[in-house]
Amino acid sequence: MYLTDFLSEHCADNNITSIINNLSNAAIKISNEIKNVDNKNNAQFNVGNTNIDGDLQKPLDIFADEALITCLRDCPVSGYASEEQDGFIDFNNNHEFIVLADPLDGSSNIDVNVTIGTIFSIIPRNNLPLTEAFLQKGIQQKSSGFFVYGPQTTLFLTIGSGTYLFALNENDQKFLLINKISIPEKTSEFAINAAYKRFWDKSTLKYIENCQQGENGIRGKNFGMRWVGSLVADASRILIRGGIFLYPADTRERYREGRLRLTYEANPIAFLVEQANGMATNGSAEILNLNVKKIHQRTALIFGSQEEVIEFRNSLEKS
Ligand code: AHM
Ligand code: MG
Q: What is the pLDDT of residues 173-230, one digit of tens each?
A: 999 999 999 999 999 999 999 999 999 999 999 999 999 999 999 999 999 999 999 9
Query: For residue 130, what are the contacts with CB-CB under 8 A and spacing of at least 6?
Result: 78, 79, 88, 90, 98
**Residue owning the nearest CA to atom 14 of ligand 1:** 229
Residue 272 phi/psi, 5-degree rounding, is -60, -45
Q: Is the CB of 65 under 6 A from ligand 1?
A: no
Closest CA to 85 of 255, 261, 256: 261
pLDDT digits (tens, 9 = 90+) for 242-271: 999 999 999 999 999 999 999 999 999 999
* pLDDT for the residue 57: 76
Edge-to-edge, what's the strand order for the sheet holding 97-105? 88-90, 77-82, 97-105, 116-124, 143-149, 153-158, 163-169, 174-181
Q: To which CATH superfamily is domain 3-180 assigned?
A: Fructose-1,6-Bisphosphatase, subunit A, domain 1 (3.30.540.10)
* pLDDT for the residue 47: 55
Domain with CATH 3.40.190.80 in the chain: 189-318
pLDDT digits (tens, 9 = 90+) for 138-160: 999 999 999 999 999 999 999 99
Q: Is the CB of 236 under 6 A from ligand 1?
A: no
Long-range residue pairs from 77-80, CB within 8 A, at least 24 positions apart, any chain = 77/19, 78/125, 78/130, 78/133, 79/125, 79/130, 79/133, 79/134
* pLDDT for the residue 42: 57
Ligand closest to 58 (CA) is 1
Distance CA 161, CA 152 (A): 25
**Residue owning the nearest CA to atom 11 of ligand 1:** 231
Distance CA 217, CA 3 (A): 46
Q: Is the CB of 50 under 6 A from ligand 1?
A: no
Q: Is the CB of 230 under 6 A from ligand 1?
A: yes
Number of residues in the chain: 319
Q: What is the mean pLDDT of residues 104-119?
A: 93
- For 189-318, CATH gives 3.40.190.80
Domain with CATH 3.30.540.10 in the chain: 3-180
